């Protein structure tokens, strides 16, 4: 690959961005009604974590990536339209997990 003219991204950052892209792609395949809902949750989740999670907290980011990938698979494979399963426990405190 030629040296990038863009910002230098770490492998982990690339993974996160690829995951983000994956979610937005998956959202496209949903109905016009569900898509905005899914997208808004994805936006919020990624923004939230981008702000809240320490960029050096690789273990936690790795966990989020792993979890995100599984959720993405679910979103893709099922005709998932329900978002309740997708309403994630946000990092620490914010949400109670069920």
Q: Under the rule (CB under 8 A), what is the footprint of other proteins?
A: 1-7, 9, 13-14, 17-18, 20-21, 24-25, 28, 46-47, 50
Residue closer to other proteins, measured from CB, 3 or 97: 3
Closest approach, Cβ 95 to other proteins, in A, equals 21
Min CB(28)–other proteins separation in Å: 7
Closest CA to 51 of 8, 98, 90, 15: 90
CB 20 within 8 A of CB 47: no
The closest of 25, 37, 13, 28 to 86, measured between CA atoms, is 37
Maximum distance among all Cα pairs of the chain, rounded to whole angstroms: 46
Give least dist CB 85 to other proteins, A: 23
């Amino acid at each position: 690959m030629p040296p990038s003219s863009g910002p230098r991204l770490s492998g982990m950052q690339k993974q996160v961005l690829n995951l983000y892209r994956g979610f937005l792609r998956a959202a496209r395949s949903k109905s016009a009604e569900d898509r905005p809902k899914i997208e808004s949750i994805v936006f919020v989740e990624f923004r939230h974590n981008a702000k809240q999670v320490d960029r050096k907290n690789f273990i936690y980011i790795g966990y989020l990536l792993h979890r995100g990938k599984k959720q993405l698979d679910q979103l893709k494979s099922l005709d998932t339209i329900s978002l309740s399963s997708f309403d994630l426990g946000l990092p620490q405190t914010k949400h109670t997990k069920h």
